[in-house]
Chains A and B, each alone.
Chain A
Amino acid sequence: MSSQTSTRKRQELEAPERYRPVVDHELCKRCKKCVNECSYRALEFVDGVVKSAGGCVACGRCINVCPAHCIEIRQVPSQFPPHANFNERVRRGIMSQASTGGVLLTSCGTDVPYPVMFDDILLDAAQVTNPSIDPLREPVETVTFLGGRKGRLEVKGNGRLYMEKDPGPVIAMDMPIMIGHISLGSVSYNAQKALFQAAQELNILAGSGEGGLHKDFYPYANNVVSEIASGRFGVTGDYLKRTAAVEIKIGQGAKPGHGGHLPGEKVSALISETRMIPLGTDALSPYPHHDIYSIEDLQQLISVVKESTEYKVPVGVKIAAVHNVGAIASGIVRAGADFITIDGFRGGTGSTPRIIRDHVGLPIEVAISVVDQRLTAEGLRNRVTVCAGGSIRSSADMVKAIALGADVIMTCTAAMVAMGCRVCQQCHRGICSWGIATQREELVARLDPEVASARVVRLFRAWNEELKEILGAMGIDSVESLVGNRDRLRYFGPNSKIAEIMDVKHVGEGWG
């Protein structure tokens, strides 16, 4: 088939637009800022007025820059005849694939309205029999440790505490929050700088993603968790030794079992240098690590990283939450990981096949609890730090995730939104109008790392304050006492089987 035919057909059968910027021409100053700022070219200046040019993704950049506040993005009402089964989303997918014949790509976490168990969980509070604590006047501890917890604390006859000689490296963070792995490549230099700077100021950790660590970011290395993924991009002995912790990435919640694919056009000089890959070629991360086909192989990679870092930094393993997550987590701990990161299926990404993002994996709420129960039952839970992410949207999600069994929560999308992201799910196109998920210099320059970093800092400080409020209300004076404290949760949703699996009592059930 000739490509000309398919282009023609595509034009003929183009799906109707979803969003339309509407300009109030009476208020418009004709400054054309919106036209110039729209990286999706959804606005044009014709015959002296700004008009919609199609292709709007509702990123909201035009609204943000318009000095006259005269732009409004309208969701175009469905132009498809109503059909509950063959809904608009399904038909748009078919139309697009019929034109391109490709695997549908998307980004961010899934937007399919699956039930969110976090929203079906209610928290307990202290009343009468256990007093609540006022976190503004009394200490409520949120310092969290990441690392292995091997060795035993012994109380000797003289009343003193003794630790095994080498308990292994741990990292103290001021709050149980880790900014997840977002690579330089998936996001811009300025975006990664802002995240690292925020992590440093908050004294928490941020993930490097599988993109290496740019030399400009070495000053932040004490707050960076470096990642080893299947492509081994940017991984050198120096990279491993420099950072605070090392994480071996097996999977990602948004694309369990899938590799990475940074298209050649995004592999700029900056990305080539940091990832140590050829300029302009596709950066492909193989689906599996080709030196890991078993838990024993994983143990070897963990060991070689520990040898390489001379046992000075915690080494963890990140997996996507999948059906057998409990057993896999158990194997990971036995393989010697100091921390384990579980990423739920609603987690975000800079690019993933839609089929995988929307249909593969396990919700993080269930995964956390299942892993915590399994590790506890096997006597392994005390040995590791459990980090969990995959759509932690608020401090409430954070509190519930911790009570379900996580030590540390991992979040990316919330930090992105703090920096300006509107979750328009276009990251994979690389023309992010906010300068976040792009490598185009003129777009990257739009993001001021100082401003963005300050916003991330304020967001997580606020979350931590809310964490203290809720801990105080529950009468708990340290976040560590909330970890796995599922007795303080009650399920208030439609499916009591899920409550049973999560080991959470139903609302109305007491314990006395």
Chain B
Amino acid sequence: MGTAALHFKKPKNEVFDATTAVTRMPDDSVLIHADRRDSEGRLVHYRVLNELIRKLILEGEKRIIIEGVTGHRYIAATANRKDVYIEIFGTPGNNLGAFLDGPTIEVFGNAQDQTGNTMNSGKIIVHGNAWDVTGLAARGGTILIKGNTGYRVGIHMKEYSGTKPSIVVGGTAKDYLGEYMAGGTLVILNRKGDSERSPIGLSVGAGIHGGKILVHGKVERHQLGPGATLGPLTGEDVPELEHLIQEFEEAFKVQVPRDWESYVKIVPLSSRPFSGHYDPTSI
């Protein structure tokens, strides 16, 4: 029987220390060179990078720029200061901004899976695509994606007592969008799509019992999952949509048309989708 290699062994990293990996910029921001390699040619480990980010935030840094990010996971997990702004160049790995509570993260590139996992507040801006399970179980904050997004986005987002999560996607989304959704707003802008092809996949809003999904373009009833239904935009949706679109336009410096009549709203049939499913009789 062999013994497997130990996980989570703290990686050695000779060159990556605060003195060589961090440059103070003229505008008082700090630049982290995440593309540094150690003497054996290994990339900076995510543990080392994240520890450095935590240290810088703790020291009161407000603007942190990370360049050369190559799939580093869990960046800024649980970061919780509202005045912190993190700029990422490259491709951050999975779980970017997990449990995020306040800061703004801007990615100049694509994000991978589980971006904004169980996010509490703050903002994540992705100048590219953000893939599967983006915004999983988020209960606050905003995620803006310029490009497309993948499967199961916005699953189990929920709102409570004044906090409300929003995700705005510039392009398209895949299946199971807003599954189990219990609150918040998902917007699919479908900026480059044609009106003939639906920008979302199948089983949309399966088990949805709160919140709404606003889709610019064609949605057919067969695309909806159990518990979801289609409804027209109402008076209160337009100001909210206007606000989110403005945020999107500001973030990406683009123009989005205000053709409200092209939007379809997906909403829950009930806030108690399974109330009749069970028999509580004591036998």
Contact = CB atoms under 8 A, between A and B. Distances in A.
Interface residues of A, number: 68
B82 to A, nearest CB: 13
B158 interface: yes
B50 A307 contact: yes
Counting chain B CB atoms within 10 Å of each CB, the highest count among A96, A99, A280, A354 belongs to A96
Given A150-B6, A280-B271, A290-B179, A101 B279 contact: yes
A307 B207 contact: no
B279 A237 contact: no
Nearest to B113: A291
A273 interface: yes
A257 interface: no
Nearest to B117: A291
A103 B279 contact: yes
B4 A380 contact: yes
Given A92-B283, A104-B279, A276-B139, A286 B156 contact: yes
The size class of the interface chain B forms with chain A is 35 or more
Contact of A426 (B139, B273, B274, B282): B282
A299 B8 CA distance: 11
A93 B77 contact: no
A52 interface: no
Given A235-B118, A291-B133, A273 B161 contact: yes
Interface in A216-247: 230-232, 235-238, 240-241
Interface string A307-340: 1101100000000000000000000001110000
B158 A278 contact: yes
Contact of A150 (B8, B79, B158): B8
B120 A303 contact: no
Interface string B108-151: 00000110011010000000000001001101000000000000
A12 interface: no
Contact of A237 (B120, B136, B274): B120
B152 A290 contact: yes
B77 A307 contact: yes
A411 interface: no
A264 B272 contact: yes
Contact of B279 (A105, A310, A380): A105
A284 interface: yes
A152 to B, nearest CB: 10
A503 interface: no
A460 B80 CA distance: 39
Nearest to A88: B283
Contacts of A353: 278
Contacts of B114: 291, 300
Interface stretch (B29-37, B95-103, B186-194): B95-103
A308 B98 contact: yes
A143 B182 CA distance: 43
A278 B160 contact: yes
Counting chain A CB atoms within 10 Å of each CB, the highest count among B1, B158, B209 belongs to B158
A15 B283 contact: yes
Given A92-B283, A237-B78, A290-B155, A336 B7 contact: yes
Contacts of B9: 150
Given A282-B209, A290-B179, 5 more contacts: A101-B279, A236-B118, A264-B275, A282-B274, A378-B1
Interface of B: 1-4, 6-10, 46-47, 50-51, 54, 73-74, 77-80, 94-95, 98-99, 101, 113-114, 117-118, 120, 133, 136-137, 139, 152, 155-156, 158-161, 163, 179-180, 182-183, 207, 209-210, 271-283
11 contacts: A95-B283, A99-B281, A102-B280, A105-B280, A237-B99, A276-B160, A282-B271, A304-B77, A334-B7, A378-B1, A429-B282
Interface of A: 15, 57, 89, 92-93, 95-97, 99-106, 150-151, 165-166, 168, 230-232, 235-238, 240-241, 261, 263-264, 272-273, 276-282, 284, 286, 290-291, 299-300, 303-304, 306-308, 310-311, 334-336, 353-354, 377-380, 425-426, 428-429
